[in-house]
Amino acid sequence: MGNERTKVDIRDLAAEAGSLTESAYRNIRADIIAGRFPPGTKLQIDELKSRYGLSASPLREGLARLISQGFVSVESQRGFRVAAMSAADLADITLARQVVEPAALKLAIARGDDAWEGAILAAYHRLDRYVARMEGQPLENFTEFSELHKAFHVALIAACGSPRLLDEQSRLYDQAERYRQGMMQNFIMIGHGMLMREHKQLMDMVLARDSDGACSSLYHHLSHTYEFCYGEDAAANARQTAPP
């Protein structure tokens, strides 16, 4: 009886530790993506403890996960810092997304069922409704738009059948999201119709099972973050210097 109770206690402790690490990871990542920790910011463990009410151990484990995902860098004897941002980095993120997401979309179109189609329509409707409501207003809180926009992109490829492709899409999307924070005003200036038109065209091609058209449309759609951040000329140069 005592041994069984010990085993249960150990499992409970492990579950709690995992939950705290997940909390640390999600909170720090959210603050990095939202720009509350600008690039190059030193992430002091004592300051993070006060900010999130967590101990050093889960914070260090959460930071380790963020290092592996490219959000945090670590320097010998100098601790943790928010990873730098650059045109070259965003070009690389964009290139990776243009490989991963059309491949996943092609699989999803081949495998998706009625429920998948319904989920895409629902995700589009939620995004469209939010953008219409925010027409002409400053996006002071970018989080809701970000979540709805990501949900639409995830819905498109949800039927691909590959958890690894889905994980990679999510990771790359979040890395690009740091850059999208700097172009919020450009999003507003585009207006509801222009912003949603391309999303609807993409959705319509997906639902029509036009695999080639949808994948080509998605490929070009994914270049917009780079174009808004660094200009169309820089985006063209990035495409020319990208590996074939």
Q: How is residue 29 written in tokens?
A: 């990542």
Q: 189 and 209: one domain?
A: yes
Q: Are 171 and 69 in contact (CB under 8 A)?
A: yes
The mean predicted confidence, pLDDT, of the chain is 85
Give the contacts of 167 (CB within 8 A, at least 6 positions apart): none
Whether residues 210 and 126 share a domain: the answer is: yes
Same domain, 109 and 222: yes
Cβ neighbours for 149, distance < 8 A, ≥ 6 positions apart: 127
Instruction: For 36-98, give the secondary structure using H, E and C.
Output: CCCCCCEECHHHHHHHHCCCHHHHHHHHHHHHHCCCEEEECCCEEEECCCCHHHHHHHHHHHH
Question: Cα(98)–Cα(49) distance, rounded to whole angstroms?
Answer: 38
Return the SS3 of 223. Answer: coil
**What is the C-alpha separation between 235 and 95, in angstroms, rounded?**
11
Q: Residue 218: which residues within 8 A CB-CB, separation 6 or more?
A: 101, 102, 105, 156, 202
Q: 42 versus 190: which is more confidently predicted?
A: 42
Say if residues 82 and 71 touch (Cβ distance below 8 Å).
Answer: yes
CATH number at residue 34: 1.10.10.10
Q: How many domains does the chain have?
A: 2
Among the residue ranges 9-13, 87-91, 154-158, the one predicted with the least confidence is 9-13
Is there a single domain that holds both residue 58 and residue 114?
Answer: no
Predicted local distance difference test score (pLDDT) of residue 172: 95
Q: What's the rounded mean pLDDT across residues 13-24?
A: 71
Query: In sequence order, what are the residues at sequence separation of 6 or more whose Cβ sits closer than 8 angstroms to the Cβ of residue 5?
Result: none
End position of a domain, from candidates 37, 56, 82: 82
pTM of the predicted model as reported, rounded to 2 decimal places: 0.80
56 and 166 housed in the same domain: no
Structure confidence at residue 195 (pLDDT): 76
Q: Which two tokens stand for residue 60?
A: 């260090």
Residue type, 76: S
Same domain as 117, residue 95: yes
Same domain, residue pair 171 and 124: yes
Residues 120 and 184 in one domain: yes
Cα angle for residues 194, 104, 150 (degrees, 5° grid):
45
Please indicate, yes or no, whether residues 147 and 200 belong to a single structural domain of this protein. yes
104 & 44 share domain? no
Tokens of 154: 């995830």
Q: Tens digit of pLDDT for each residue in 86-143?
A: 999 999 999 999 999 999 999 999 999 999 999 999 999 999 998 888 877 766 667 7
Of 61, 82, 103, the domain-final residue? 82
In this structure, are 54 and 103 located in the same domain? no
pLDDT interval class at 57 (50, 70, 90): very high
CATH classification at residue 161 = 1.20.120.530
Identify the helix (H) or strand (E) that includes residue 7.
helix 2-33
Does residue 183 share a domain with residue 232?
yes
* End residue of a domain, out of 31, 64, 82: 82
Residues 6+ positions from 227 with CB-CB distance below 8 Å: 234, 235
Q: d(Cα 108, Cα 103) in Å, to the nearest integer?
A: 9
Residue 94: domain span = 87-241
